[in-house]
């Protein structure tokens, strides 16, 4: 099967995203360097380790002499200072050098942690993303954001560090739990909501085929999402402006994730689903967007089985407002929101009335629409 290639054009930091079936067996073909001469450091988690073991066999067959695997526990709690230290110590014990290469084999947690470890060890060792969740294939593996969480909030310590390549093998999705498939799908929908009404309409028609991982549908959804992300990252690599659009639903979503305690009870993508519905509800309250569009967004997330309100999360409005105030998107003491004039017409603003934000949060916590 032919793979799709999406280019990320960032001058000397440019790279390709390869998307297709069977790519894990052909990784060497998609790398912009000869892997056989490299020391390879594979970072993965305990759920995805079999893919890392397969990859190691293939790399050894391709002539790689040194290829070690660090397997971390799965879950958001792995994006921590402890795991970062563990990864650094493991790399140093194994005499990593600047000609080595780090591979992240896993979802967004491993991609963010491995990428940040690579960016900070020896002041930067190149890395490759092998994303294995839909979320990581359409979002976290692309664009170079890496990092860890702190007790003050998510992703507050990190770096912009672009990978050398992203290799997306859709076969890995066959073992992904359905709930994780859905959570990743929320980030796919996000690209339609931001600036592509036609893609949102396509998802309304074909979302269930994407979720069922039908090959043509999943490939189209992944490629369209990666192209959308490429456009934004190429225009604003370090989030000076436009890149913040990718945070649609995230200001609310991150606060909900913090309230849920990163214990797996609310997945990142589930927070994005609820947060996107809140962003449209706030847009309606502010007279920016029609109720019809907000209803349509809620209905689509609901129809595929994603959560659309925060009623299952035990928290309160003050906690959420406080948490949103600590988000990276706070500038000059003002929270940044991504709101919408319509589906496919999102924009960035700090001009938001806190009373309306409180009202949207209260409504969502009480399960109302």
Task: Indicate the residue whose CB is closest to ligand NAD.
Answer: 108
Is residue 323 part of the contact set for ligand NAD (CB under 6 A)?
no
Q: Are strands 145-150 and 346-349 parallel, antiparallel or unpaired?
A: unpaired
Cβ within 8 Å of residue 61, ≥6 positions away: none
Give catalytic status of residue 300 as yes or no. Answer: no
Give catalytic status of residue 74 as yes or no. Answer: no
Q: Which stretch binds ligand GLY (CB under 6 A): 95-103, 241-249, 331-339, 348-356?
A: 241-249
CA distances from 229 to 148, 232, 323 (A): 21, 5, 27
With CB under 5 to 8 Å by kind, the binding choice for 3 among ligand GLY, ligand NAD, none is none
Cβ within 8 Å of residue 315, ≥6 positions away: 256, 259, 260, 365
Give catalytic status of residue 329 as yes or no. Answer: no
Residue 330-349 contact track with ligand NAD, rule CB under 6 A, x = bound? --------------------
Is residue 154 part of the contact set for ligand GLY (CB under 6 A)?
no
345 and 195 Cβ atoms separated by less than 8 Å: yes
Task: Write down the catalytic residue from 12, 123, 205, 332.
Answer: 123
* Tokens encoding 228: 């959308």
Member of 45, 139, 196, 223 binding ligand GLY (CB under 6 A): 139
Residue 123-152 contact track with ligand NAD, rule CB under 6 A, x = bound? ---------xx-xx--xx--x-x-------
Sign of the CA dihedral with 313 first, then 136, 278, and 177 last: negative
Residues numbered 28 to 87 that lie near ligand NAD (CB under 6 A) are: 45, 47-48, 74-76, 79
With CB under 5 to 8 Å by kind, the binding choice for 249 among ligand GLY, ligand NAD, none is none
**Residue 302 burial by Cβ neighbours in a 10 Å radius (0-12, 13-18, 19+):** middle
With CB under 5 to 8 Å by kind, the binding choice for 344 among ligand NAD, ligand GLY, none is none
Shortest Cβ distance from residue 92 to ligand GLY (Å)? 29
Member of 230, 246, 256, 365 binding ligand GLY (CB under 6 A): 246
Number of neighbours of residue 81 by Cβ within 10 angstroms: 12
Give catalytic status of residue 229 as yes or no. Answer: yes
Output the CA angle 99-103-105, nearest 5 degrees. 175
Number of neighbours of residue 2 by Cβ within 10 angstroms: 7
With CB under 5 to 8 Å by kind, the binding choice for 70 among ligand NAD, ligand GLY, none is none
Task: Write down the catalytic residue from 247, 257, 300, 328.
Answer: 247
* Tokens encoding 95: 């005499």
Q: Which stretch binds ligand GLY (CB under 6 A): 61-69, 96-104, 242-250, 279-287?
A: 242-250
Task: Write down the catalytic residue from 38, 74, 79, 145.
Answer: 145
Q: What is the distance between the alpha carbons of residues 333 and 132, in angstroms, rounded to a whole number?
A: 37
# residues near ligand GLY by CB under 6 A? 6
Cβ within 8 Å of residue 273, ≥6 positions away: 183, 186, 189, 249, 253, 301, 306, 307, 308
Q: What is the distance between the alpha carbons of residues 119 and 315, in angstroms, rounded to a whole number?
A: 35
Is residue 79 part of the contact set for ligand GLY (CB under 6 A)?
no
Task: Write down the catalytic residue from 38, 190, 229, 300.
Answer: 229
Is residue 108 part of the contact set for ligand GLY (CB under 6 A)?
no
For the chain, what is the radius of gyration of the CA atoms?
20
Shortest Cβ distance from residue 222 to ligand GLY (Å)? 15
With CB under 5 to 8 Å by kind, the binding choice for 243 among ligand GLY, ligand NAD, none is ligand GLY
CB-side neighbour CA atoms (13 Å) of 68: 12
Member of 143, 147, 269, 307 binding ligand GLY (CB under 6 A): 143
Is the CB of 128 or the CB of 135 nearer to ligand NAD? 135
Q: What is the distance between the alpha carbons of residues 326 and 324, in angstroms, rounded to a whole number?
A: 5
Q: Which residues are catalytic?
A: 123, 145, 187, 229, 239, 243, 247, 250, 254, 268
Residues that bind ligand GLY (CB under 6 A): 139, 143, 145, 243, 246-247
């Amino acid at each position: 099967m032919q793979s799709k290639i999406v280019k990320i054009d960032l001058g000397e930091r440019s790279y390709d995203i390869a998307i297709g079936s069977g790519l894990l067996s052909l990784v060497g073909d998609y790398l912009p360097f000869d892997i056989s001469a490299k020391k390879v450091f594979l970072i993965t988690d305990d759920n995805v380790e079999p893919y890392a073991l397969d990859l190691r066999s293939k790399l050894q067959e391709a002539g790689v002499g040194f290829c070690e695997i660090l397997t971390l526990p799965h879950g958001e709690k792995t994006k921590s200072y402890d795991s970062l230290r563990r990864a650094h110590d493991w790399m140093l014990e194994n005499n990593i050098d600047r000609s080595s290469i780090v591979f992240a084999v896993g979802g967004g947690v491993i991609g963010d942690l491995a990428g940040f470890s690579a960016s900070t060890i020896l002041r930067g060792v190149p890395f490759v993303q092998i994303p294995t969740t839909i979320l990581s294939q359409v979002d976290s593996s692309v664009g170079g954001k890496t990092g860890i969480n702190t007790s003050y909030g998510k992703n507050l310590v990190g770096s912009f560090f672009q990978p050398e390549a992203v290799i997306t093998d859709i076969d890995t999705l066959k073992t992904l739990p359905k709930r994780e498939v859905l959570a990743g799908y929320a980030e796919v929908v996000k690209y339609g909501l931001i600036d592509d009404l036609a893609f949102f309409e396509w998802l309304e028609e074909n979302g269930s085929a994407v979720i069922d991982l039908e090959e043509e549908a999943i490939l189209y959804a992944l490629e369209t999402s990666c192209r959308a992300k490429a456009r934004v990252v190429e225009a604003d690599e370090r989030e000076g402006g436009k890149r913040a659009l990718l945070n649609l639903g995230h200001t609310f979503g991150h606060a909900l994730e913090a309230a849920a305690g990163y214990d797996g009870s609310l997945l990142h993508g589930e927070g994005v689903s609820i947060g996107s519905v809140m962003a449209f509800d706030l847009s309606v309250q502010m007279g920016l967007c029609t109720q019809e569009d907000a209803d349509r967004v809620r209905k689509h997330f609901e129809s595929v089985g994603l959560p659309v309100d925060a009623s299952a999360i035990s928290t309160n409005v003050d906690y959420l407002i406080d948490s949103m105030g600590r988000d990276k998107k706070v500038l000059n003491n003002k929270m940044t929101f991504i709101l919408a004039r319509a589906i496919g017409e999102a924009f960035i603003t700090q001009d938001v009335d806190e009373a309306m934000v409180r009202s949207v949060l209260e409504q969502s916590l009480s399960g109302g629409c």
